[in-house]
Amino acid sequence: MTVTCRLVCGAAALLVVCHAFPASFGAEASGAASVAAAAKTVPNVVGQRPEVARQMLRLAGFEFAQGVYYIAPQNWRDDIRSGVVGMQSPQALLRAPDKVVVVCWCLRSAEEGRKVVPVPDVRGQSAQAAEEKLREVGLGVVTSPSGGSKSPDAKALVTAHYPPADSRVYEGTHVVIRTRFPIASNRSSSGPNMIGD
């Protein structure tokens, strides 16, 4: 098991409500053959300052997005460091296509009085509507669109998000939303469930 897996599993036990951390959230691609041809190994940036993580990921051919994840003060441990990347997705050593956005969360201890809020289900909504809904309940947003760019088009739909719907997290925690352009077909507009909930 890699250091990233150990740290992510350790961090997951500290969340308000434990849920599975998606190892490859945001690393999906449309065709398996194209993924194999263009895939690169994601570097381990857990434990790095955000500016160092950004540089490491860019040098490896990936995009960087940063968020914050608040942890209950009574669950804060000596081995958790504030101000450095505590979780990343896709996780280190996984193979992902060039220019995939690697989301890096810095862990913070929640102050006394910080509210706990449920994460609303925003799958199937436009990126703009999802962002508005998440901000209404006091959550931050990090966008991870398919295709690499961190700025999704207004027509892009949310196909998945982490933390998943109905998770209870501290206000101010950043939710990463995965977007994709809708495909004209008979399939559901919410797209595939990529986080296993």
pLDDT tens for 86-100 read 999 999 999 998 888
For residue 192, being part of any structural domain is answered with no
For residue 94, being part of any structural domain is answered with yes
CATH number of domain containing 26: 3.30.10.20
Q: Is the peptide bond before 73 cis (omega within 30 degrees of 0)?
A: no
For residue 197, being part of any structural domain is answered with no
Looking at the DSSP bridge assignments, the partners of residue 157 are: 126, 180
For residue 120, being part of any structural domain is answered with yes
HEC secondary structure over 12-37: HCCCCCCCCCCCCCCCCCCCHHHHHH
Q: What are the tens digits of pLDDT across the range 140-149?
A: 999 886 544 4
DSSP state of 173: P
For residue 105, being part of any structural domain is answered with yes
- The range of the structural domain enclosing residue 95 comes to 3-180
Into how many domains does the chain fold? 1
For residue 191, being part of any structural domain is answered with no
Tokens of 156: 């892009």
For residue 36, being part of any structural domain is answered with yes
Q: Would you say residue 30 has pLDDT above 60?
A: no
For residue 185, being part of any structural domain is answered with no
Neighbours of 1 (CB within 10 A): 6
pTM, two decimal places? 0.72
Q: Which percentage of the chain shows pLDDT scores above 90? A: 59
Q: What is the pLDDT of residue 158?
A: 94
Q: What are the tens digits of pLDDT across the range 110-146?
A: 999 999 999 999 999 999 999 999 999 999 999 886 5
